Amino acid sequence: MPEIMIHWEWFLRIIIAGLCGVFIGYERRNRNKEAGIRTHAIIALGAALFMIVSKYGFPDVIEYDAARMAAQIVSGVGFLGAGVIFVRHGTVSGLTTAAGMWATAGAGSCIGAGLYDIGIMTTLCVAGLQFIFHKGVFRKYTNQGQIIQLQITQDPSALADIQHIMKKHGISIQSMKVEVMDRDTLFIEIDGITAQTFQREELLEEMMNKKYMKMFSYA
């Protein structure tokens, strides 16, 4: 009976770790990121499982290093994180998601080791940071860097019109990169500084109404 009760505690650790992964993944899912609820939950759950096996899975071995299997969690999740990092037209995306996956594995490892308070607090901190800074709680107090990417038809007046719209919405252009994708399409990347009153939705609505616009995104 005591052994069964110990196993139930281990099951509880795995469940709690999975719930922590769900909590972190929820914010990623709402932003349509590559790794969402299921991925983060499985990472946290798996990390907790490996910690339990590492600590308690070798009772028949007199001398063994319990940290060896746990150490592989870091490298394993690093491999997964590399799969969500993309470089497109010189812009890197997915770094925050990859870092969140890495931190999720850390939280799951803590819970698997029995450090419930550390794992849960880490979960709240990671999810809180992702949510707060994405929602722009501090944006209204500071100017922010903005990467804007566009695909447009090769209209002679388009570049001047785009610069006019950026100025109209309070975006100070630091640099503009123009790349010819084919004979009819240009790719433009603008690195700018937005004003405190910048409204993304208004810029998006105006840009998408332009006849020369094919694709518009910002990060």
Residue-wise pLDDT tens digits, 13-25: 889 898 988 888 8
Q: Are residues 79 and 174 in the same domain?
A: no
Q: Which residue has the higher pLDDT, 215 or 200?
A: 215
Give the pLDDT confidence of 187-204 residue by residue, as tens digits: 888 888 876 667 778 888
- Residue 145 has φ and ψ, to the nearest 5°, of -75, 145
Q: Are residues 118 and 179 in the same domain?
A: no
pLDDT of 1: 44
How many domains are there within the chain? 2
Mean pLDDT, all residues of the chain: 80
- Residue 156 has φ and ψ, to the nearest 5°, of -55, -30
Chain CA centroid to CA 31, Å: 9
Among residues of the chain, what percentage have pLDDT more than 90? 3
Q: Which of 125, 133, 82, 79 is nearest to 103 (CA)?
A: 125
Report whether 28 contacts 50 (CB < 8 A): no
pLDDT of 121: 93
pTM (two decimals): 0.58
On the question of pLDDT at 105 being above 70, the answer is yes
- For the record, the structure tokens of 66 come out as 């319990």
Last residue within a domain, chosen from 135, 150, 180: 135
Last residue within a domain, chosen from 120, 135, 150: 135
- The parent domain of residue 168 ranges over 140-218
